[in-house]
Amino acid sequence: MLRNLSVILVRTRFPENIGMAARAMSNMGAGDLVLVDPERWDRQKALPLATPQAESLLDGVSVVPTLSQAIAPCVAAYGTTARTGGWRKEVISPEEAAHELRAIAREGGRVALVFGSEDRGLENEEVELCTRLVNIPTAQGHSSLNLAQAVLVLLYECAKADMALPFAPDGKAREGWTRPAGGHDSRRATLAEEALLLARLQEMLQRIDYLPQDNPAWFMQPMRRFLRKGRLRRHEFDMLMGICRQMENALTRVVSK
């Protein structure tokens, strides 16, 4: 699982925390580190807090401007949060997250653990981009964890879950695997494909006056949650995009008459 897992740090403030996060990744066997719009990225300041084994992680860091871009190749993104309620519903524990991620990653899809900035965590807009939310239980009134500590806790649970189930070379024994109608295996849709589908659905639903013209993105949130609950597959993505194309063709014919 950890070979198919990306650790994504959003708007980090201190290079030293990146170094410690890289050390935690090296300890647990994770190998892909992505920084989203870091306030300061200085490899030389991060290096003393990492281990010699983690240096390659710091050398291979990817830096991107947005979380959307960072998670685009992934089929699932699990965001971490100390706050709950409101936009942050259906929060799960690190152990639950690890078992879900194991099932997804063993199908071959890339998954992500997403951590917010040291002072503010993830913003609401970033929370909405994540497919699931994870909360690390702490003593009451002491919910603030160091960034690298949070990375280590989540990766420890992932490593523990990964070691509990030997790798299965065929799809029959893999957890979370479903075979679509017709008997052909279909991978999970990536988050980039999900975003494309949601944009297309929103466009069509507005054209048929199902969605209000003002703030339609707000009313699309239940649709996003519905698609994620069903764990969208690529053949399902193709089917729904095909429906959108047919809707557009039908609307064009109506307008032209």
Residues 77 and 164 in one domain: yes
- Host domain of residue 201: 191-256
Residues 158 and 50 in one domain: yes
Q: How many Cβ atoms sit within 10 Å of the Cβ of residue 129?
A: 20
Residues 151 and 211 in one domain: no
Angle of helix 94-105 relative to helix 147-164, nearest 10 degrees? 60
pLDDT tens for the chain, 257 residues: list them: 788 899 999 999 999 999 999 999 999 999 899 999 999 999 999 998 988 888 989 999 999 999 999 999 999 999 999 877 665 567 899 999 999 998 888 788 899 999 999 988 999 889 989 999 999 988 887 778 899 999 999 999 999 988 765 544 444 444 443 444 444 467 888 888 888 888 888 888 888 888 887 888 777 878 877 887 767 888 888 888 888 888 888 888 776 66
- Are 29 and 2 in contact by the 8 Å Cβ rule? The answer is yes
Residues 140 and 51 in one domain: yes
Residue 185 lies in a domain: no
Residue 68 lies in a domain: yes
Q: How many domains does the chain have?
A: 2
Note the pLDDT of residue 88: 58
CA-based angle 106:101:131, to the nearest 5? 125
Residue 63 lies in a domain: yes
Note the pLDDT of residue 73: 92
For the domain that residue 30 is a member of, what is the CATH number? Answer: 3.40.1280.10
Residues 225 and 148 in one domain: no
Residue 178 lies in a domain: no
CA torsion, ordered 69, 70, 73, 77, to nearest 10 deg? -120
Residue 32 lies in a domain: yes
Rounded to two decimals, the pTM is 0.74
Residue 199 lies in a domain: yes
Helix (H), strand (E) at residue 84: none
CA-based angle 28:33:35, to the nearest 5? 140
Phi-psi region of 110 (alpha: psi -120 to 50; beta: other; left: phi over 0): beta
Q: Final residue of a domain: which of 136, 171, 206? A: 171
Residue 149 lies in a domain: yes
Helix (H), strand (E) at residue 130: none
Residues 14 and 135 in one domain: yes
Note the pLDDT of residue 32: 93
Spatial separation of the C-alpha atoms in residues 93 and 103, rounded to whole Å: 16
Spatial separation of the C-alpha atoms in residues 133 and 147, rounded to whole Å: 16
> Tokens in use for 212?
């209000």
Note the pLDDT of residue 154: 96
